[in-house]
Structure 1
């Protein structure tokens, strides 16, 4: 029987790269979703709903809405995970304010925006998960359930996203919600396929 690979911890520079790049990928996905008038799942989706409904600053609302989840993260996942998650959330909040100054989208077909935005978000979240971090909110619960109950993080996130996007029908046109579901599927397929217990041994 082949030996089980040993888990090799990421060093500080590797973690920094993972957090910086992962949060940037997700922030870029938010640019795609916002430009197309779509929603993303999870806490970012709730934040976009608030943004669309009130015009409030996305970065600030996203940072504030995650604060209650840090309490659960500390108790369920430990201080290391919580501090990394705090940094990732802060980075996403900052990136979301800086990116409009360096990137401007002209034509973006909504269906492509949904899929491409979803793939970017899924890749960014995967990078964060592999560096023992998340973007807070439902992601914290999804990772905890995978580690402690064996539930796939992508599946948990997908269920939550469908519920959030279903609720969005109150404010968002049905065809935009349908495209948002397509984006959520892209996000969670990336995570469900590429983040499975036993396939990755770095932490």
Structure 2
């Protein structure tokens, strides 16, 4: 339990760095509930962590009936992620890197954090938890399920905002999906299992 909590905290820090230091300053989105929360944040200025937590509640109620283990660790992952991402908000605008490098670093940090959490059957947010449940039910790789869902979210952002720069978000979700797939499919990493 202690190792799992420590792993969730480390993964949340990686996700928080990716979102605050690289994604938000680039005014792009990542996928999942964080992506939807960022769309709402950009549209109406709502607090990111509060929106994220509220949007997760229906998925967690579904997870509670599906698997209590996923529900419990998903809930812990969500709240720890929300708190750490809020605490790391001062990273926003701290680095002044080229746009594409920002996007790639954001995807790498977020993907590593998400992959680490999924590896221990925790989740930093509802879509990842939903993808974990779908992947288990349909015997699909969780990274592939995340990639499909996230692509739909990104394309929705492009349609809503009519900003072509949101298409760069596809790079982020590709990196997140690829890294999460690698981290969840490699059998020999025993630290996170």
- Distance (whole Å) between structure 1 residues aligned to residue 78 and residue 184 of structure 2: 20
Q: Which moved more, 1:16-25 or 1:174-183?
A: 174-183
Residue 108 of structure 1: aligned partner: 97
Q: Structure 1 residues 124 and 193, CA, compared in 2 at 3 Å: closer, same or farther?
A: same
State the shift of 1:103 in Å.
6.5
Q: Structure 1 residues 105 and 185, CA, compared in 2 at 3 Å: closer, same or farther?
A: same
Residue 64 of structure 1: aligned partner: 54
Q: Structure 1 residues 167 and 77, CA, compared in 2 at 3 Å: closer, same or farther?
A: same
Deviations 1:20-64 (A, max 9, x none): 011111111111110110100011100000000000100111111
- Distance (whole Å) between structure 1 residues aligned to residue 92 and residue 151 of structure 2: 29
Unaligned 5+ runs, structure 2: none
Match status 1:147 vs 2:136: yes
Q: Structure 1 residues 197 and 190, CA, compared in 2 at 3 Å: closer, same or farther?
A: closer
> Structure 1 stretches (4+) deviating beyond 3 angstroms?
101-104, 171-175, 197-203
Count the aligned residue pairs: 191
Residue 49 of structure 1: aligned partner: 39
Q: Which has the larger radius of gyration?
A: 1
Residue 27 of structure 2: aligned partner: 37
Higher helix share: 2
State the shift of 1:158 in Å.
0.6
Structure-2-length-normalised TM-score:
0.90
Unaligned 5+ runs, structure 1: 1-11
